[in-house]
Amino acid sequence: MSLISETDYGTPPSRAGEQVTLTIDGQAVTVSAGTSIMRAAVEAGVSVPKLCATDSLEAFGSCRLCLVEVAGRPGTPASCTTPVAPGMVVSTQTERLKQIRRGVMELYISDHPLDCLTCAANGDCELQDMAGAVGLREVRYGYEGANHLGQEKDESNPYFAFDPSKCIVCSRCVRACEEVQGTFALTIQGRGFESKVSPGALGDDFLSSECVSCGACVQACPTATLSEKSVIEIGTPEHSVVTTCAYCGVGCSFKAEMRGEEVVRMVPWKDGKANRGHSCVKGRFAWGYANHKERILKPMIRDSIDQPWREVSWEVAIGRVASEFKRLQEKHGRLAIGGITSSRCTNEETYLVQKLVRGGFGNNNVDTCARVCHSPTGYGLKETFGTSAGTQDFDSVEHSDVVLVIGANPTDAHPVFASRLKRRLRQGARLIVIDPRRTDLVRSPHIEADHHLALRPGTNAAVLNALAHVIVTEGLVNEAFVREFCDRDAFEYWAQFVSDPRNSPESVGLVSGVPAETIRAAARLFATGGNAAIYYGLGVTEHSQGTTTVMAIANLAMATGNIGRPGVGVNPLRGQNNVQGSCDMGSFPHEFTGYRHVSDDATRHAFEALWGRPLDREPGLRIPNMFDAALEGTFKGLYVQGEDILQSDPNTKHVAAALAAMECVVVQDLFLNETANYAHVFLPGSSFLEKDGTFTNAERRINRVRRVMTPRSGMADWEITLAIARAMGFEMRYGHPSEIMDEIARLTPGFAGVSYDLLDRLGSVQWPCNEKAPEGTPVMHIGGFVRGKGNFMVTEYVPTDERTGPRFPLLLTTGRILSQYNVGAQTRRTDNVVWHDEDVLEIHPHDAEQRGVRDGDWVRLDSRAGATTLRAQVTDRVAPGVVYTTFHHPETQANVVTTEHSDWATNCPEYKVTAVQVSPSNGPSEWQREYGRQAEHSRRIAKAAAE
Amino acid sequence: MSEDKLVAMANQIGRFFVPQRGGDPVSAIADHLQKFWDPRMRAAIVAHLEKGGADLDDPVRQAVRRLKEAEARN
């Protein structure tokens, strides 16, 4: 193994179709029109010296190192800013050029610390490389003149250091922050000799500035000015492995740069098709949890949750799981146990868990955490389009003219996609945001939404119906598309429905709080603005009408003809890394892989034949149903892989009571999470760095996860599931996760062509991948819908049963923040806590003043389900009557407050609408105090004893 | 299973299917319950119907009755 070194072409590729032939250093080279001479040279195998150029950024032309000579043209133009021309004859290496370059380098080096041997970037420094490339042998100016060597380092950021003494003011960091990330946190302050890179306003350091620590500046820096602290501490890496980030549903590809089995740094991989070389603070830096001191590395058991844990061997732990599950089935019946998979696990792992439940437990009581996030997406898109997945790839946004973002906050939850979206918006695409909260996307540097529909939580379906009303009644339907691709009768019926006056913007304005004219203007823009794409998140799905709203989104896309080509489509932004994959892998209790119902005889027989077991044709329990059944006494045992249901599922007290009612709860995880407080067996799991497998991201892209270190507990997660199955008498035989994928491909038509060999060859692939699409399907429904004709569904608005009133007058909605991830189990165990060490409650100044609440005060948040306390943040980001918080910290337990209301079709919880009251507080709620005591008691580990 | 919760869930399903095209919401509701509810949940809603089916909306009540008939046949 060696370090993967990607070619830097100096400037981005040109998209022009026209080809131009020129000569560089005697070689003929043909490239697209608009390509820079620098890039053309690299494509011809000629490397032109450079410092301020890199191919992730537009050409800047400041360093004067990449100068070339062009026959017939005066002077020495910069090759990065000069486009190719037909017949051009270029020389990259002449005596004149050599002298100029050497002179430039002399000036740079005269103001640079000559500490290469002790510099963190020694051997990985472009300045050092260029000194060698231009043959620098002396610095005639000496080193005694005015310089910047005494400038103070900025080490405020936990992950990288800024050493201005090494800065050559090439602006690559500033431009990366602008062009790649879109945050505009950095600038060049001062003029001439005083010029320096500066984060934010005067007096800011990196930590206090608006920098979001995406790492783009560090990656762009050609010197050691911006360096990862891990590199400074450990040294430069010696080999790298391409793998996939285990955080959000964007699925960024990274090079894990290693020294032995120690990760030195994670660097976004330029060839990663989801992220195109970009990253966010989580994927780039927040991987230290893998080595956190709280990792549990040995299996543990206990007879009851009152007892301390006892460390045991794998054999004893697995034996306990099997004997308990068998006992429970003998005593309470075949349906008394089940399993929960996680979107944090690989496809192969989730496939094995559902196989264990269906084949080993003999029932279909298997579910995945997608239940509580995107299950409505699967149902809604299958009914309308025929496939339970988004329609596009992420590249598609580069072709969008109008983007509608509803119920999603990509800046925080899908930051790398947000950067790509913002880039397109800066190029001129128009933006509609439908969200109760003023997210950063509504207004941020160089971005402003054309329309922000700040609707009342719970009225998504009504607002989408009103948009459709305008489109239909104002004659904006794409008749040709509907005629050719959609079910005509369904369309007519739907058009009649949305045209009804109760769906007019004027009527909907009264329930949603969105002015009718804003709805009308947004609808007109969406229908007439060119390629229109819809991106949505959990603000759509986590409602009692989540599925209805997904269907309303699909209706809107079909009515305007925005399906089946780049730039358009319906794009669910999946919360976790493998939400799409866990759904694809048959983790839902009613369907096998590929979304085929368990009652379908042909499908079931195929699985039975391969697995050698009879399979149940009845649907199993969904996660919320498991809790109800546990409290009822018919569900007694649960295997939970990689999921913290106690913290993440709604109505925590209800979940806790259900877990406490079970006789055997098995948790397989990295840490003693909140669910483990109620567990009887703990099986130590592995981080993504320790496993081979695949994740499938929000664009249906199957990416490889590659092991870079040995599983610290001694067993990989897939091997643990295999061991449980074997102990229960259900033998599964695999030598490597690739063999699990081979089985998935055999049993799943949309995955028929997928193999690790293919993934190694192509880098990644988007399903469907089969005979019809051997290299995958970037855009779906081209030339027709998977289900045949697109199906318009009637999406009647039904208000949620969760109502505000005198006791609970405010509506709580929940979400995420950039630096934390889901329940925070990983990110809370990294330095990301410097940005967010507690959940806070956003409350409008008007509501705060009415209650005597000031910014930073402790407040009590009460709902019909429970109460918690947290600090208030007074802000007009939220509308009057709406409050907002995150659910990243168990000390807060935001889900103590959320209710069991759920989506009608899928039981996805209604996290986004809870009637609450806020009042001043001076301490934790009773529940928080009690929970804190219970958690501390439950996490005790007895000293090791001989078995 | 809490009967109140099952009734509320079943009525939610009913409110989606009643306005759909096709004119047979009872079949659609029954089909949804059959495909997505675990047998013990279906048994519980059928038992609730047998006790009078309080608070079940009419099309949902008919759908549950159809479920009961189907279960009796099997």
Q: Where are the domains of chain A?
A: 19-93, 160-291, 300-373+579-766, 375-572, 810-937
CA B11 to chain centre: 8
Per-residue confidence (pLDDT) for residue A202, from 0 to 100 = 74
Token pair, residue A158, equals 């936990």
Q: Percent of chain A at pLDDT above 70?
A: 100
Q: A493: distance to nearest CA of chain B, Å?
A: 7
Residue B62, Cβ neighbours under 10 Å: how many?
18
Condensed to tens digits (0 to 9), the pLDDT of residues A60-117 reads 999 999 999 999 999 999 999 999 999 999 999 999 999 999 999 999 999 999 899 9
Condensed to tens digits (0 to 9), the pLDDT of residues A709-732 reads 999 999 999 999 999 999 999 999
CATH of the domain spanning A19-93, picked from 3.40.50.150, 3.10.20.740, 3.40.50.620, 3.40.710.10: 3.10.20.740
* pLDDT higher than threshold 90 for residue A512: yes
Token pair, residue A220, equals 């762009």
From the list A648, A654, A658, A697, the residue with the least C-alpha distance to A373 is A648
Per-residue confidence (pLDDT) for residue A947, from 0 to 100 = 45
Q: Contacts of residue A494 in chain B, CB cutoff 8 Å?
A: 21
Distance CA B34, CA B71 (A): 10
Per-residue confidence (pLDDT) for residue A944, from 0 to 100 = 66
What are A301's strand-pairing partners? A310, A681
- Average pLDDT for residues A681-693, to the nearest whole number? 97
- Residues, chain B, total? 74
Confidence of residue B31 (pLDDT cuts 50, 70, 90): very high
Residue A473, Cβ neighbours under 10 Å: how many?
18
Enter the ipTM. 0.97
- Average pLDDT for residues A789-811, to the nearest whole number? 97
What are A160's strand-pairing partners? A228
Condensed to tens digits (0 to 9), the pLDDT of residues A233-275 reads 999 999 999 999 999 999 999 999 999 999 999 999 999 999 9
Would you call A310 helix, strand, or coil by DSSP? Answer: strand
Contacts of A929 (CB under 8 A, 6+ apart): none
Q: A568: distance to nearest CA of chain B, Å?
A: 27
- Residue from B3, B7, B21 whose CB has the most chain A CBs within 10 Å, to mutate: B21
From the list A377, A492, A896, the residue with the least C-alpha distance to A654 is A896
Place of tokens 């060049």: A188
With residue A532 as reference, give the H or E element that holds it. Answer: strand A532-536
Q: Contacts of residue B9 in chain A, CB cutoff 8 Å?
A: 902, 904, 907
Per-residue confidence (pLDDT) for residue A275, from 0 to 100 = 97
For B37, the closest chain A residue by CA position comes to A619
The CATH number assigned to the domain with range A160-291 reads: 3.30.70.20
Sign of CA dihedral A379, A381, A385, A390: negative
Sign of CA dihedral A455, A461, A464, A468: negative
With residue B15 as reference, give the H or E element that holds it. Answer: helix B3-17
Are A336 and A637 in contact by the 8 Å Cβ rule? The answer is yes
Per-residue confidence (pLDDT) for residue A892, from 0 to 100 = 87
* pLDDT higher than threshold 50 for residue A901: yes
Q: How many CA atoms lie within 13 A of A465 on its CB side?
A: 29
Place of tokens 């990985």: A124
Contacts of A292 (CB under 8 A, 6+ apart): A671, A829, A830
Token pair, residue B71, equals 């279960």
Token pair, residue A21, equals 């032939």
Distance CA A129, CA A237 (A): 18
Distance CA A591, CA A364 (A): 9
* pLDDT higher than threshold 90 for residue A144: no
* pLDDT higher than threshold 90 for residue A577: yes
C-alpha distances in Å from residue A284, one per residue of A200, A214, A748: 22, 7, 34
* pLDDT higher than threshold 90 for residue A389: yes
Q: Contacts of residue A335 in chain B, CB cutoff 8 Å?
A: 38-40
Residue A50, Cβ neighbours under 10 Å: how many?
25
Token pair, residue A621, equals 């329990």
- Average pLDDT for residues A594-603, to the nearest whole number? 97
Token pair, residue A830, equals 């990294």
Indicate the range of A298-307, A667-676, A917-926 predicted with least confidence.
A917-926
- Which residue has better confidence, A157 or A144? A157
The CATH number assigned to the domain with range A810-937 reads: 2.40.40.20
* pLDDT higher than threshold 50 for residue A946: no
**Beta carbons of A365 and B38 less than 8 Å apart:** yes
Confidence of residue B74 (pLDDT cuts 50, 70, 90): confident
Q: To 10 degrees, what angle do helices A488-499 and A546-559 make?
A: 110
For domain A375-572, give the CATH superfamily.
Answer: Dimethylsulfoxide Reductase, domain 2 (3.40.228.10)
With residue A432 as reference, give the H or E element that holds it. Answer: strand A430-434
Beta strands in A133-211 (DSSP E): 160-162, 186-189, 196-199
Residue A764, Cβ density class (10 Å: 0-12 exposed, 13-18 middle, ≥19 buried) = buried
- The strand pair at A882-886 and A914-920 is best described as unpaired
pTM to 2 decimals?
0.96
Residues on A contacting B at a C-beta cutoff of 8 Å:
335, 365, 489-490, 493-494, 497, 544, 547-548, 589-590, 597, 599, 618-622, 625, 628-629, 632, 634, 793-794, 796, 798, 801, 900, 902, 904-907
CB pairs under 8 A between A and B: 63
Confidence of residue A945 (pLDDT cuts 50, 70, 90): low
Per-residue confidence (pLDDT) for residue A715, from 0 to 100 = 96
- Average pLDDT for residues A929-940, to the nearest whole number? 92
Condensed to tens digits (0 to 9), the pLDDT of residues A755-797 reads 999 999 999 999 999 999 999 999 999 999 999 999 999 999 9
Distance CA A164, CA A152 (A): 7
For A906, the closest chain B residue by CA position comes to B36
- Residue from B12, B24, B31 whose CB has the most chain A CBs within 10 Å, to mutate: B12
Per-residue confidence (pLDDT) for residue A420, from 0 to 100 = 97
The CATH number assigned to the domain with range A300-373+579-766 reads: 3.40.50.740
Distance CA B51, CA A773 (A): 54
- Residue from A366, A379, A625 whose CB has the most chain B CBs within 10 Å, to mutate: A625
For A597, the closest chain B residue by CA position comes to B35
SS (H, E, C) A236-274: CCCEEEEEECCCECCCCEEEEEEECCEEEEEEECCCCCC
SS (H, E, C) A672-736: CCCHHHHCCEEEECCCHHHCCEEEECCCCEEEEECCCCCCCCCCCHHHHHHHHHHHCCCCCCCCC
Which amino acid is located at A502 in the chain?
A: R
Any alpha helices (H) in A500-545, and if so which ranges? Answer: 505-512, 516-528, 538-541
* pLDDT higher than threshold 80 for residue B48: yes
For B13, the closest chain A residue by CA position comes to A904
Instruction: Give the alpha-carbon dihedral of A682, A687, A693, A694, to 10 degrees.
Output: 110
For B29, the closest chain A residue by CA position comes to A905
Radius of gyration of chain B (CA): 11
C-alpha distances in Å from residue A577, one per residue of A277, A697, A752, A823: 17, 6, 22, 14
C-alpha distances in Å from residue A101, one per residue of A67, A142, A145, A222, A383: 8, 18, 21, 17, 64
Average pLDDT, chain A: 96
C-alpha distances in Å from residue A941, one per residue of A305, A640, A716: 12, 20, 23
Are A590 and B35 in contact by the 8 Å Cβ rule? The answer is yes
